[in-house]
């Protein structure tokens, strides 16, 4: 199935979990803000949020330093 992540199509497994998808991109889930079909996802929901066909994700990743 396909999802759209930051504007680009991505082929992923059926019923993938958000946190696993983030890790597959080599991202630390704690450093990423996720908008899923227009909704900001609470951090505690990353482990339960299921990605369905056609889901539109917007990811903002942060790097350290300030």
Partner 1 sequence: MTNIPGKNELDAVLVERHSEEICLRLQRATVAVMGLGGLGSSVAVALVRIGVGKLLLADYDAVELSNLNRQYYFLDQLGLPKTEALQQNLARINPYLRIDLINRRLTEEMIPELFSDADVVVECFDDPIMKAAGLRAVLTAMPGVGYVGASGVAGYGENNIIQTRKIQDHIYLVGDFESAAEDGISLMAPRVGIAAHHQANQVLRILLGVDT
β pairing state of 32-36 and 16-17: unpaired
The size of the interface with partner 1 (CB under 8 A), counted in residues, is 15
Q: Contacts with partner 1 in 27-56 (CB under 8 A)?
A: 28, 30-33, 40, 42-43
Strands 56-61 and 2-5, how do they pair? parallel
**Nearest to partner 1 of 33, 50 (CB atom):** 33
Distance (Å, whole) CA 5 – CA 29: 15
Query: By CB under 8 A, is residue 8 in contact with partner 1?
Result: no
């Amino acid at each position: 199935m396909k999802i759209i992540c930051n504007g680009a199509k991505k082929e992923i497994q059926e019923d993938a979990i958000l946190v696993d998808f983030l890790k597959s991109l080599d991202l630390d889930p704690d450093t990423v803000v996720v908008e899923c079909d227009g909704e900001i996802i609470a951090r505690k929901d990353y482990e339960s949020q299921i990605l369905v066909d056609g889901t539109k994700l917007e990811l903002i990743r942060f790097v350290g330093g300030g």
